[in-house]
Amino acid sequence: MSYQLLEQRFQQLHHLQHLQAICGWDQATMMPDGGNQARGAALAELALLQHQKLTAPEIADWLNSAENEPLSDEQQANLNEMRRRWQNAALLPDDLVQARALAGSRCEHAWREQRKNNDWKGFEPNLKIVVDLTREAAQIRAEALELAPYDSLIDLYEPRMSSSQLLRIFTDLKSWLPQIIRQAGERQSQYNPIKPEGTFPVVRQKSLGLHAMKLLGFDFNHGRLDISAHPFCGGVPEDVRITTRYNEKDFMPSLMGVIHETGHARYEQGLPEKWRGQPAGEARSMGIHESQSLFFEMQLARHPAFLRKMAPLIKQHFGEQPALEAENLIQLYSRIEPGFIRVDADELTYPAHIIMRFEIEQALIEEKIQVRDLPEVWNTKMQQYLGLSTKGNDAIGCMQDIHWTDGSFGYFPSYTLGAIYAAQFAGAIERDVGNIGELIAADDGLPQIFNWLKTNVWEKASLFSTEELIQQATGESLNTQWFRRYLEQRYTKAL
């Protein structure tokens, strides 16, 4: 049967993706600098091999033939995802796929030092190549799919989402977020939390992170924690790799970073084994993926009940001081302050970081601005949305993110979509299971939360569309009012 042949081919591709993911993890964490050129070439060759296997002439024949075979609903869903994967790959020629992989590897590796040195002049030519190739790919995709170029890139990460839909969502957020930020500022003026002092050795920060991961159910038999320039979650469900970065003067960002990536990892580890190696068994979208990491970081880890549970463990690692008391940590982790760095942004100002990137990306892909314009455009947007200037310091401006180095344009909107999904899932959990704070405090509460997520999100994988998944889990479509309600409760009510 053609469907069985397709399953075998996609299982082969899964094995190659496993190798690609671990090679990419090693490149970001362990590989010596001198290995980058050879590693880049190897990864480009691997990307080309996967592309050729996915776009081989027999695939189209098998897809068409399989449509006439008796399939279960789940097999039909898998076939739909196979077709989508094949179509996305078949649109691009082999030489473009290989060129993009090489350019991305070269740009990302050089970026690590260039960002440290605020070297925009060195970074610009590498990024220009990546952008030129991404524009070429976007144009090919757009013509075939009858989409705008930028929409064709969004669709890779958030299927069926468009820039017009995002614009409506972001316009809605902008209509009420400023008021909540003002109210939150008024509330936090009543408190004066103490900042933790001292040196926080990396070894102790890592130990604390590992304890948090264990509390959150991470499976260490199928994953590990390491250090990289930019935190990420990679690998495959059988072998999930998460990374963080440490600052010995401040343990707080790395702790939340580890918990954020643990949310990604739990989603991967919770995907259905029955469909492992098949497209329907993979994560639904980057927005859903981000909803899991943000649920872990925001709905769980920053909740007062969780911080009260973590405070003794934090003091165990770093010693006694007033700043590490639970009530002080609660105040610290609920403070808002506009900042330059997206990954360190508080929950209320974070959407501004995403909205400005969405606007810049769209203009860049549609050639309304050029790569050379990015420092100036970025500075203007930062002043517009956050009241900050990055003029002359591109390391904390347009060079701060890793995403553009490999051409991942269209990815950023997934972060704020994920925040909205996370709040909506939290509302459904409180409806179906119980109050989240009470569940966190209870000895058996966290497993109940994870069981709801596993049943309603993780095990659904890509067997349903994002819209269907949200509808089934929460009883309604994407609704920003859940996000608004959550933010008001967390940031405008008395602690």
Q: Give residue-wise pLDDT tens across range 137-155.
A: 999 999 999 999 999 999 9
Rounded to whole angstroms, the Cα distance separating 90 from 145 reads: 12
Q: Which residues pair with 224 in a beta bridge?
A: 241
The answer to whether residue 278 sits within a structural domain is: no
Joined together, the tokens standing for residue 299 give 């709905």
**Does the active-site annotation cover 359?**
no
Q: Distances from the Cα of 425 to the Cαs of 46, 135, 185, 263, 296, in angstroms? A: 37, 35, 27, 14, 12
**pLDDT of 313:** 97
In 3D space, the residue among 226, 225, 214, 196 whose CA is nearest the CA of residue 315 turns out to be 196
Rounded to whole angstroms, the Cα distance separating 200 from 318 reads: 7
Rounded to whole angstroms, the Cα distance separating 492 from 486 reads: 10
Does the pLDDT value for residue 44 go beyond 90? no
Three-state DSSP state, 475: coil
The answer to whether residue 102 sits within a structural domain is: yes
**pLDDT of 123:** 98
Does the pLDDT value for residue 309 go beyond 70? yes
**pLDDT of 116:** 95
- DSSP-derived secondary structure for 132-167: HHHHHHHHHHHHHHTS-HHHHHHHHHSTT--HHHHH
Half-sphere exposure (CA, 13 Å, Cβ side) for 374?
25
The chain-wide mean pLDDT, for the chain, equals: 96
Rounded to whole angstroms, the Cα distance separating 96 from 107 reads: 16
Rounded to whole angstroms, the Cα distance separating 29 from 243 reads: 8
In 3D space, the residue among 282, 298, 270, 386 whose CA is nearest the CA of residue 11 turns out to be 282
- Split at pLDDT 50, 70, 90, the class of 442 is very high
The answer to whether residue 11 sits within a structural domain is: yes
**pLDDT of 221:** 98
The answer to whether residue 198 sits within a structural domain is: no
Does the pLDDT value for residue 410 go beyond 90? yes
The answer to whether residue 448 sits within a structural domain is: no
Does the pLDDT value for residue 494 go beyond 90? no
The arithmetic mean of pLDDT across residues 234-253, rounded, is 95
Q: Domain limits at 142?
A: 2-157
How many C-beta neighbours within 10 Å does residue 72 have? 8
**pLDDT of 60:** 96
In 3D space, the residue among 111, 103, 317, 113 whose CA is nearest the CA of residue 209 turns out to be 317
Does the pLDDT value for residue 216 go beyond 90? yes
Which amino acid, residue 170?
F
The answer to whether residue 65 sits within a structural domain is: yes
Q: Which of 81, 158, 261, 297 is catalytic?
A: 261
Torsion angle, alpha carbons of 328, 331, 332, 336, to 10: -170
Does the pLDDT value for residue 493 go beyond 90? no
Number of domains making up the chain: 1
The answer to whether residue 397 sits within a structural domain is: no
Query: What proportion of the chain, given as a percentage, has pLDDT over 90?
Result: 95
- DSSP-derived secondary structure for 50-88: HHHHHH-HHHHHHHHHHTTS---HHHHHHHHHHHHHHHH
Query: What proportion of the chain, given as a percentage, has pLDDT over 70?
Result: 100
**pLDDT of 426:** 98
In 3D space, the residue among 121, 89, 100, 127 whose CA is nearest the CA of residue 40 turns out to be 100
Q: Give residue-wise pLDDT tens across range 330-372.
A: 999 999 999 999 988 999 999 999 999 999 999 999 999 999 9
Q: Give residue-wise pLDDT tens across range 264-289.
A: 999 999 999 999 999 999 999 999 99
**pLDDT of 495:** 62
Regarding pTM above 0.85, the answer is yes
The answer to whether residue 27 sits within a structural domain is: yes
Which amino acid, residue 391?
K
Confirm if 364 and 346 have CB atoms less than 8 A apart.
Answer: no
The arithmetic mean of pLDDT across residues 198-219, rounded, is 97
Strands 239-244 and 233-236: antiparallel
- Residue 337, phi-psi category: left (phi > 0), alpha (psi -120 to 50), beta (remainder): beta
The arithmetic mean of pLDDT across residues 180-188, rounded, is 93
